């Protein structure tokens, strides 16, 4: 097991309330050594109440690589004028006493994390998102090499650090699938945080779980191939053959059979061939040649 160094660190002094009187010390002086994010807010600002806590969470997760100062704009009109702030919330990041990044309005959590990562990199530090992404890559390699339990443990550790890391969350589902723990995979997938439930990583994991469920009930390839050879218009046999091929690792063969079935009768069984094709494509990486070529062929058949 790799050492992810994911132990929590104290966040004392990472986040503080600032004023015009303390701005020089809290922001300009403090940013000489570490980037400081300044959140301009006001009690009447609805979006501020959502943005502020998410920004604080991202700063805490950085474990000292960045600090945060919250300033009530209503009580800091001089600074608001100097910074030409016209709407709230407005966020600026300072390093070496100068603004280096910023944004206005509320952002989703993923974009807030990306902003904090940019600020940390601007200050010469290592963004926590980068180290976690590297850990996900290592866990993916473990999974590809057959060390599914080690991969599962690593993904779990990453999620302990960032419960909304889509790559780690999807990876944990895939690890459960590799361990043939399909119910655990489904339970984990169903419990995904809402903010990542529609990400490509989780959509792919869901498709892979569907294929794994189908594989458990797939028939013998040889018998189904013989049935299709005997009657090329036996659509059910061809569809079942595609499932069997997929279950045996022949994804290209499964796609070919489904494309043939779609060409013969695209409406058969409520469009089952197209639905199954999209499930396979979603389970593959976006740049996988089988997915790219398969989508291209399907599109040309749909619009022919």
Percent of the chain at pLDDT exceeding 90: 77
Task: Give me the pLDDT at residue 192, please.
Answer: 93
Provide mean pLDDT across the span 11-37.
90
Give yes or no for residue 10 having a pLDDT over 80.
Answer: no
Give yes or no for residue 235 having a pLDDT over 80.
Answer: yes
- Rounded to an integer, what distance in angstroms lies between the CA atom of residue 88 and that of residue 47? 8
Give yes or no for residue 229 having a pLDDT over 70.
Answer: yes
Coil/strand/helix, residue 286: coil
Active site residues: 45, 48
Percent of the chain at pLDDT exceeding 70: 94
Provide mean pLDDT across the span 144-159.
94
Task: Give me the pLDDT at residue 7, please.
Answer: 40
Candidates 223, 271, 265, 215; CA nearest to 243 is: 215
How many CA atoms lie less than 13 Å away from 130 in the CB half-sphere?
A: 11
**Residues 68, 57 contacting (CB under 8 angstroms):** no
Least confident of 121-125, 217-221, 283-287: 121-125
Give yes or no for residue 260 having a pLDDT over 80.
Answer: yes
Average pLDDT, whole number, for the chain? 91
Q: Provide the 8-state DSSP code for 158.
A: H
Candidates 106, 65, 83; CA nearest to 23 is: 83
Give yes or no for residue 243 having a pLDDT over 80.
Answer: yes
- Rounded to an integer, what distance in angstroms lies between the CA atom of residue 5 and that of residue 110? 22
Give yes or no for residue 5 having a pLDDT over 50.
Answer: no
Token pair 């792919």 is at which residue?
Answer: 204
**Predicted confidence band at 3 (pLDDT cuts at 50, 70, 90)?**
very low
Give yes or no for residue 1 having a pLDDT over 80.
Answer: no
Give yes or no for residue 9 having a pLDDT over 80.
Answer: no
Buried b (16+ CB within 10 A) or exposed e, 186-202: bebbeebeeebeebebb
Task: Give me the pLDDT at residue 6, please.
Answer: 42
Q: Which two tokens stand for residue 135?
A: 């850990």
The end-to-end CA distance of the chain, in Å, is 52
Task: Give me the pLDDT at residue 270, please.
Answer: 95
Burial class (CB in 10 A: 0-12, 13-18, 19+), 168: buried
Task: Give me the pLDDT at residue 13, please.
Answer: 79
Task: Give me the pLDDT at residue 129, please.
Answer: 65
Provide mean pLDDT across the span 13-23.
93
Give yes or no for residue 96 having a pLDDT over 80.
Answer: yes
Coil/strand/helix, residue 68: strand
């Amino acid at each position: 097991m790799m050492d992810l160094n994911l132990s929590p660190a104290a966040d004392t002094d990472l986040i503080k309330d600032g004023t015009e009187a303390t701005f020089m010390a809290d922001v300009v002086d403090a940013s000489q050594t570490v980037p400081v994010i300044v959140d301009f807010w006001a009690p009447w600002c609805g979006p501020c109440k959502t943005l502020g806590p998410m920004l604080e969470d991202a700063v805490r997760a950085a474990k000292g690589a960045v600090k945060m100062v919250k300033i009530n704009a209503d009580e800091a009109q001089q600074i608001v004028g100097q910074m030409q702030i016209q709407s709230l919330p407005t966020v600026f990041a300072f390093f070496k006493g100068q603004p280096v990044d910023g944004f206005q309005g509320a952002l989703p959590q993923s974009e807030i994390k990306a902003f904090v990562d940019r600020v940390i990199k601007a200050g010469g530090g290592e963004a926590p998102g980068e180290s976690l992404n590297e850990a996900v890559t290592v866990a993916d390699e473990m999974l590809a090499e057959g060390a599914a339990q080690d991969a599962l443990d690593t993904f779990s550790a990453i999620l302990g650090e960032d419960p909304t890391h889509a790559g780690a969350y999807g990876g944990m589902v895939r690890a459960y699938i590799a361990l043939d723990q399909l119910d655990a995979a489904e339970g984990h997938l169903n419990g995904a945080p809402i903010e990542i439930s529609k990400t490509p990583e989780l959509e792919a994991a869901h498709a892979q779980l569907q294929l794994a469920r189908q594989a458990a009930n797939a028939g013998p390839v040889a018998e189904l191939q013989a049935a299709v050879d005997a009657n090329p218009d036996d659509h059910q046999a061809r569809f079942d053959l595609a499932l069997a091929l997929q279950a045996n690792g022949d994804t290209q063969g499964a796609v070919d059979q489904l494309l043939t079935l779609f060409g013969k009768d695209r409406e058969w069984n409520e469009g089952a061939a197209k639905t199954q094709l999209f499930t396979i494509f979603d389970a593959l990486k976006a740049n996988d040649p089988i997915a790219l070529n398969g989508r291209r062929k399907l599109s040309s058949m749909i619009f022919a």
